[in-house]
Structures are given as C-alpha cells and as structure tokens.
C-alpha cells in the first residue's frame, strides 16, 4: 500500500513538472492579436472601401514585462493580400519567435494593417477615389499602436518593411514621412521606375474603355493591377465605373498615348521620379535597403530596381541595394528566407531598443 502511495505521489509530481514545462514553453512564445481601427480617411472613396480596417499585431514573448517598451516594425503586404498575410502566407509568428530567441533581433512588435482594395492594392497612396491611405497609416495606424501598445514611440525605434508592392509603399512612406519612420527595408519593390517594356503595353485598353464595372477587369490581371495604379495616381471621381483617367487608348491596332496624363502618372507613381524632391528626406534615414531577385520572370522589376539604385547614388542618398539569386518573392520567408537573414538583422542594426533618455538617438 505504501509503495502504491509513493508511486501515486511520484506520478503527481511528474504531471506537475510537465505542466510547469508546458507553461514555461507557452510563455516563451509571442502571440498574434487582431484589432480593428475605425478610420476617418475613407469617407470620400468611390469604390466601397470599409472604414473598419483590420490590423494584425505580433507581440513578443516579454511584452508583459513591467516597464519594458518595444520598437515597432510596420509590415506592408503585397498585391491581393491583406492584414492576414503574416499568418496566411507564412508562419511569421514562429519565425519572429525563433529570431528573437536566437538573437537575430531583440524583442520587437510587428504590425500589419489591411491596405487592400477591390482591385488588389491601394498603392499606399492618398486618392480621391480609393481613400487616403498614407494619412490612414501615419495619422491613424501609428498613433493607435502607440496609444494602445507598449511601444517606443520615436522614429529611431520605428521602421517599415514591405513585400513587393508593399516594398513600394515602404519606400514611398519613408520618402514622404521620414519623421515617422526612421528605417526602411523593401523586399523586391515594384514601381521603382521604368521597366524594359513601357507601362502602356500591359493593360487591355479595349477592356478598360468598355468596362461596365470593376469586376469586368478581373479576367485580365494586368488590366486589374494597372487600374488600381490609375485609381491611385490618375483618379477621377466623376468617371464611373472605374473612376480613372485613361493615359492611353486603342485605335485600330495602335495604342495612342496621352502625353500629359502619362507625365502626370510617371511623376506621381514612379519612385525614381520622386527622388529629386525627397532625396534630402531619404538622407535623414538611419537605414535604407532594398533587394530584388534577378530571376524574376518580369524583368521590368529587375531593370527598374537597377536603375533606381543608380539614381539614388546620383543624388547622394546612402542606401544598400542587393540583387540576389531568386525569383518573384520565393526567398522571403522561412529560416533561410530574407526576412530572417536580412530584414530582421537590418532592423536590429538600425533600431534604438531603449527609451530615448538612455541612449543617443542620432544616426
């Protein structure tokens, strides 16, 4: 009987031990939480954009430690994605947990808001048709995160990274709002400048001219993408159903280009066209890097990123630019992916991880 009692105690102690190990393991992980921001920046939009924008927030393991505050990485998703991209396309939470555990980066908050539209992307740009997306980010998302989470609310502890079209948005925000974001990394950005082919060779101009609704465009991906670009950069609230000015039209077998609208489009959309105006802003950044895969099947992206880094050099903008062996976003995630090997170490290098009173905040 005594032996059975001892065995019972031993089993109980073993169960308690397992429970304690489980608890410690559970506590050693970060967590993803979702919030909703009721925006005031979309009341004028023409395409049914909801004012309720979903936001995913990664909180690190030690988030609940008393008196501890954390830098923030804002992640911008690609075309046809939304705030769920961190969990839908990759196990980002597990990757961030591993990176923090292994010292790839210190404890950090990661935020991903929904910047999607019915045609796939807002282009991270204020528009009289789709809404004011830049204002949404800098006047609503960032203040909300700082007010509701334990952040280090300073540009030196706040960075932005984007994936492809999100990379475009990350550089655009850094250009225009360097007082908000002190460091920027763009993964394989698009829209940096002119490609091998002219833009007007991509859309189906007859389809755009005759569309009865935006749904008509979804059979042709380039027409859909470029209409999203035009809604951001050539918006016309009075021209239903697409609400855009068309910079070209099909006449017989020829494409006739509107030179004035094309100039307006290029100056508003292409990042390389924005360098002269925003070079001095870029020079204030603590860190600026972008990369691209040389095997992208759309060589426009490779060509334009090569040209973009050269133009940044011409204006004396310090940055890092890397062409690597890879394709269209196929090397971004996983422990061998560039988020883990390049993006997180980049922010570890350029972030301030302590309150501003304890360390120098100069570049």
70 within 8 A of 107, measured Cβ to Cβ: yes
Maximum pairwise Cα distance, the chain: 99
Give the structural domain span for 212.
199-262
CB 73 within 8 A of CB 109: yes
Among the three residues 215, 237, 262, which one is the final residue of a domain in this structure? 262
Q: What is the pLDDT of residue 3?
A: 53
Residues 132 and 276 occupy one common structural domain: yes
Kindly list the strands in the beta sheet with 31-38, ordered across the sheet, starting from the edge strand earlier in the chain: 31-38, 52-59, 109-113, 72-76, 158-163, 183-187, 287-293, 320-324
Interatomic CA distance for residues 227 and 208, integer angstroms: 8
Kindly state whether residue 15 falls inside one of the protein's structural domains: no
Least confident of 19-23, 251-255, 325-329: 19-23
pLDDT at site 25: 42
The domain boundary residue, chosen from 226, 241, 262: 262
- Domain assignment of residue 47, yes or no: yes
Residues 245 and 152 in one domain: no
In a domain, 5, yes or no: no
Q: Domain count for the chain, please give it.
A: 2
Q: Verify that 48 and 134 share a domain, yes or no.
A: yes
For residues 123 and 233, the answer to whether their CB atoms sit within 8 Å is yes
100 within 8 A of 108, measured Cβ to Cβ: yes
Q: Mean pLDDT across the stretch 121-149? A: 98
Q: Which residue has the tokens 């960032």?
A: 142
Average pLDDT over the chain reads: 90
In a domain, 357, yes or no: no
**Residue 58: beta bridge partners?**
32, 110
User: What is the pLDDT confidence band of residue 58, given thresholds at 50, 70 and 90?
Assistant: very high
345/107 Cα distance (integer angstroms):
12
CA gap 227, 344 in Å, rounded:
34
Write down the pLDDT at residue 282: 98
Q: Which residues pair with 186 in a beta bridge?
A: 162, 290
Answer yes or no: is pLDDT of 205 > 80: yes
Task: Identify whether residues 210 and 255 lie together within a single domain.
Answer: yes
In this structure, the strands spanning 287-293 and 320-324 are parallel
- 173 has pLDDT over 70: yes
Q: What is the pLDDT of residue 198?
A: 87
Residue 255 lies in a domain: yes
Check whether residue 57 and residue 148 sit in a common domain: yes
Checking if the pLDDT of 1 tops 70, the result is: no
Percent of the chain scored above 90 by pLDDT? 80
Single residue among 262, 293, 314 that ends a domain in this structure: 262
pLDDT band at 27 (very low <50, low <70, confident <90, very high): very low
Pairwise pLDDT comparison (34 vs 17), residue with the higher score: 34
CATH number, domain of 99, equals 3.40.50.1820
Question: In this structure, are strands 254-257 and 131-132 parallel, antiparallel, or unpaired?
Answer: unpaired
Residues 129 and 242: beta-carbon distance below 8 Å: no
User: Residue 44 pLDDT more than 90?
Assistant: yes
235 and 175 part of one domain: no
- Residue 271 CA, chain-centre distance (Å), reads 15
pLDDT tens-place string over residues 80-110:
999 998 887 678 999 999 999 999 999 999 9
CA distances from 60 to 65, 144, 204, 337 (A): 10, 18, 46, 20
Both structure tokens of 101:
């555990």
170 and 59, same domain (yes or no): yes
pLDDT beyond 50 at 23: no
Kindly report the pTM of this predicted structure: 0.89
Residue 4 lies inside a defined structural domain of this protein = no
pLDDT of residue 357: 52
**Average pLDDT, stretch 3-25?**
45
pLDDT in tens, 159-168: 999 999 999 9
Closest CA to 339 of 122, 202, 197, 187: 187
Quick one: 189 and 203 in the same domain?
no
- Any domain includes 22: no
Residue 129 has pLDDT above 60, yes or no: yes
The per-residue pLDDT for 85 is 85
Same domain, 62 and 171: yes
Same domain, 179 and 289: yes
Q: Indicate whether 188 and 209 sit together in one domain.
A: no
Do 40 and 141 belong to one domain?
yes
Read off the pLDDT band of 12 (50, 70, 90). very low
């Amino acid at each position: 009987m005594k032996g059975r009692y001892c065995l019972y105690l031993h089993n109980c102690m073993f169960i308690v031990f397992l429970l304690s190990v489980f608890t410690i393991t559970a506590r050693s992980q970060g967590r993803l939480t979702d919030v909703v921001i009721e925006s005031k920046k979309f009341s004028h939009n023409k395409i049914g954009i909801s004012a309720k924008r979903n936001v995913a927030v990664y909180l690190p393991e030690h988030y609940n430690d008393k008196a501890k505050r954390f830098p923030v990485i804002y992640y911008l998703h690609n075309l046809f994605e939304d705030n769920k991209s961190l969990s839908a396309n990759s196990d980002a939470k597990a990757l961030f947990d591993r990176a923090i555990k292994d010292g790839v980066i210190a404890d950090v908050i990661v935020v991903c808001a929904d910047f999607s539209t019915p045609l796939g992307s807002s282009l991270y740009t204020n528009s009289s048709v789709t809404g004011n997306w830049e204002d949404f980010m800098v006047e609503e998302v960032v203040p909300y995160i700082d007010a509701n989470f334990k952040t280090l609310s300073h540009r030196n502890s706040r960075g932005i990274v984007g994936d492809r079209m999100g990379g475009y948005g990350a550089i655009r925000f850094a250009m225009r709002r360097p007082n908000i974001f002190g460091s920027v990394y763009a993964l394989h950005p698009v829209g940096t400048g002119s490609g091998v082919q002219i833009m007007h060779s991509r859309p189906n101009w007859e389809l755009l001219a005759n569309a009865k609704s935006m749904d008509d465009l979804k059979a042709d991906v380039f027409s859909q993408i470029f209409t999203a670009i035009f809604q951001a950069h050539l918006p016309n609230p009075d021209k239903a159903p697409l609400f855009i000015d068309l910079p070209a039209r099909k006449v017989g077998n020829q494409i006739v280009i509107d030179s004035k609208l094309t100039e307006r489009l290029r100056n508003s959309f292409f990042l390389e066209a924005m360098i002269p105006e925003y070079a001095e802003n870029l020079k204030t950044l603590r860190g600026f890097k972008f990369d691209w895969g040389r095997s992208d099947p759309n060589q426009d992206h490779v060509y334009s990123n090569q040209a973009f880094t050269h133009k940044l050099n011409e204006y004396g903008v310090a940055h890092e630019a890397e062409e690597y062996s890879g394709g269209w976003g196929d090397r971004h995630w996983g422990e061998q992916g560039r988020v883990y090997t390049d993006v997180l170490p980049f922010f570890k290098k350029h972030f301030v991880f302590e309150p501003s009173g304890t360390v120098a905040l100069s570049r």
